[in-house]
């Protein structure tokens, strides 16, 4: 279970005192990224086309990174029988954050607060051998938290969460290596997104019956996480009472423009749920063994991440994330056919492109309207006659006119997380 919480007093609204210039709620609506409606309910925002485009770009990047790291992607239901969460421990230790059960056909179903019980059942659905391990499962999945109305705010705290989640089932001796690999994936994803971690936190058990009462289990999991941090030279703080109910975790912290700290990415070692679900694999000696379950979220929830990116960039997203990556600007109606062909070529190359013609205003007005678009392709009579476009960058700089096909190829190579790292299959 990957918890994402703000480190503030529980009575403090998560967006309290946020500078309006960096308020993702205001920017999100101004930029047509997301919105809400009372008929849907508080804490249940919906994504508009521009926001969905940014989200899809992130999803495609993470999906590809996970594939390259050996993950297999699965899909699982957003609910399960109450019994499932009784076995996982959520019902006993996390019930106050869950939506109440729904009675259907004489059985109680619950909107899931976490994906890990489902992935445990995916592991259990087939006989497993040591040759299958580590089994790395990943899913962008929905989960629900019964957050109180007073703490809801924009995309930062919501009731329906789309989480970039993953679970690695491995032998005990391999758990440290898997934790280290997850930390490396997180660092690489943050670099691609332009996100800077403000610190690492080793979140530990607190007092009370919120936590599983097995000190030896907690110590063993803590050692694995601590050694992974220290082997990589990552400074960290300890935080008692911030661990998950079943075990300790590493929280990768970020700080927003208002100075608030929150958790974006997490890595956890779980020695509890494998036993609860009776997970086993056949070892090299043909004896049955219990796997370790490593939870990790590379970029956290799509909602929390988008809130941070909107405030970080103020809508001027990097080219690979921008809702519209290139806008074609014909100077007059005579250049509309050429501009339309250029937009189609961009779209065929996987770029998000739009056409803004004279009917939308003067050329100067259209340039100002598209000020947040990374690339503007101006097409006048001379460019149309020569099959060229003049590229104007977001910072106001200009490039020499290029043949349209060459401009498309160049933009396709630049509008990716890293230069030269094209995403031909799912990176648009």
pLDDT digits (tens, 9 = 90+) for 125-168: 999 999 999 999 999 999 999 988 777 878 888 999 999 999 99
pLDDT of residue 11: 31
pLDDT of residue 20: 57
CA distances from 32 to 53, 57, 321, 343 (A): 11, 17, 15, 22
169 forms bridges with which residues in the sheet?
135, 293
Evaluate if residue 62 carries a pLDDT over 80: yes
Peptide bond into 134 cis (omega under 30): yes
pLDDT of residue 151: 74
Helix, strand, coil in percent for the chain, rounding step 5: 35, 25, 40
CA angle at 195 for the pair 194 and 201, rounded to the nearest 5°: 155
pLDDT digits (tens, 9 = 90+) for 311-337: 999 989 999 999 999 999 999 999 999
Q: Give exposure, 192-210, as e/b (b: 16+ Cβ within 10 Å).
A: bbebeeeebbbbbbeeeee
Q: Which of 55-64, 105-114, 249-258, 353-362 has the lowest mean pLDDT?
A: 249-258
pLDDT of residue 274: 97
Evaluate if residue 15 carries a pLDDT over 60: no
User: In the predicted model, what is the mean pLDDT of the chain?
Assistant: 90
Greater pLDDT, 21 or 350: 350
Greater pLDDT, 428 or 170: 170
For residue 321, give the nearest of 22, 33, 15, 115 by alpha carbon. 33
pLDDT of residue 323: 96
pLDDT digits (tens, 9 = 90+) for 239-284: 999 999 999 999 999 988 778 888 999 999 999 999 999 999 999 9
In angstroms, rounded to a whole number, what is the distance separating the alpha carbons of residues 199 and 186? 13
**Residues 323, 317: contact at Cβ < 8 Å?**
yes
Cβ contacts of residue 41 below 8 Å, gap of 6+? 159
CA distances from 61 to 70, 119, 250 (A): 15, 22, 23
Per-residue pLDDT, averaged over 362-388, amounts to: 94
Evaluate if residue 16 carries a pLDDT over 80: no
Evaluate if residue 45 carries a pLDDT over 90: yes
Strands 326-330 and 375-379: parallel
**Residues 325, 391: contact at Cβ < 8 Å?**
no
Burial tier of 354 (Cβ tally within 10 Å: 0-12, 13-18, 19+) = middle
CATH numbers and ranges of domains, the chain: 20-313 (3.30.930.10), 326-414 (3.40.50.800)
Per-residue pLDDT, averaged over 356-376, amounts to: 94
pLDDT digits (tens, 9 = 90+) for 73-124: 999 999 999 999 999 999 999 999 999 999 999 999 999 999 999 999 999 9
**Residues 425, 62: contact at Cβ < 8 Å?**
no
pLDDT digits (tens, 9 = 90+) for 283-306: 999 999 999 999 999 999 999 999
Evaluate if residue 424 carries a pLDDT over 60: no
* Alpha helical stretches, state H, 147-234: 175-193, 215-231
Per-residue pLDDT, averaged over 4-20, amounts to: 40
């Amino acid at each position: 279970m990957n918890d994402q919480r703000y480190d503030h007093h529980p009575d403090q609204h998560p967006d309290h005192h946020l500078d309006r210039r960096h308020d993702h709620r205001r920017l999100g609506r101004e930029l047509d990224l997301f919105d809400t409606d009372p008929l849907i309910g508080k804490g249940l925002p919906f994504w508009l086309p521009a926001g969905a485009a940014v989200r899809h770009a992130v999803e495609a990047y993470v999906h590809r990174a996970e594939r390259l790291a050996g993950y297999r992607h699965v899909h699982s239901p957003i609910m399960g029988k109450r019994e499932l969460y009784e076995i996982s421990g959520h019902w006993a230790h996390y019930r106050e954050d869950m939506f109440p059960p729904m009675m259907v056909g004489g059985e109680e179903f619950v909107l899931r607060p976490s994906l890990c019980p489902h992935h445990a059942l995916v592991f259990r659905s087939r006989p497993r051998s040591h040759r299958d391990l580590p089994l790395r499962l990943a899913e962008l999945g929905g989960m629900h938290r019964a957050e109180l109305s007073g703490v809801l705010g924009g995309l930062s705290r919501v009731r329906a969460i789309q989480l970039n989640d993953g679970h690695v089932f491995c032998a005990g001796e391999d758990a440290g290596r898997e934790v280290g690999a997850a930390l490396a994936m997180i660092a690489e994803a943050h670099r691609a997104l332009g996100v800077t971690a403000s610190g690492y936190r080793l979140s530990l058990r607190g007092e009370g019956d919120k936590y599983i009462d097995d000190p030896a289990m907690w110590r063993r999991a803590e050692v694995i996480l601590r050694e992974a941090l220290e082997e990589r030279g990552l400074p960290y703080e300890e935080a008692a009472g911030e661990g998950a109910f079943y075990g300790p975790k590493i929280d990768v912290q970020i700080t927003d423009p208002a100075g608030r700290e929150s958790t974006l990415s997490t890595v956890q070692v779980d020695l509890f749920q494998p036993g609860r679900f009776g997970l086993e694999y056949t070892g090299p000696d043909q004896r049955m063994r219990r796997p370790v379950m490593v939870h990790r979220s590379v970029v956290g929830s799509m909602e929390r991440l988008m809130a941070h990116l909107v405030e970080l960039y103020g809508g001027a997203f990097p080219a690979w994330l921008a809702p519209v990556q290139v806008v074609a600007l014909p100077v007059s109606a005579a250049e509309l056919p050429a501009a339309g062909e250029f937009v189609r070529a961009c779209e065929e190359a996987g770029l998000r492109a739009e056409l803004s013609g004279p009917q939308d205003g003067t050329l100067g007005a259209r340039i100002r309207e598209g000020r947040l678009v990374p690339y503007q392709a101006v097409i006048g009579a001379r460019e149309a006659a020569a099959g060229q476009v003049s590229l104007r960058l977001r910072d106001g700089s200009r490039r020499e006119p290029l043949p349209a096909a060459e401009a498309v190829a160049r933009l396709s190579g630049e509008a990716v997380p890293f230069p030269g790292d094209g995403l031909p299959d799912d990176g648009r």
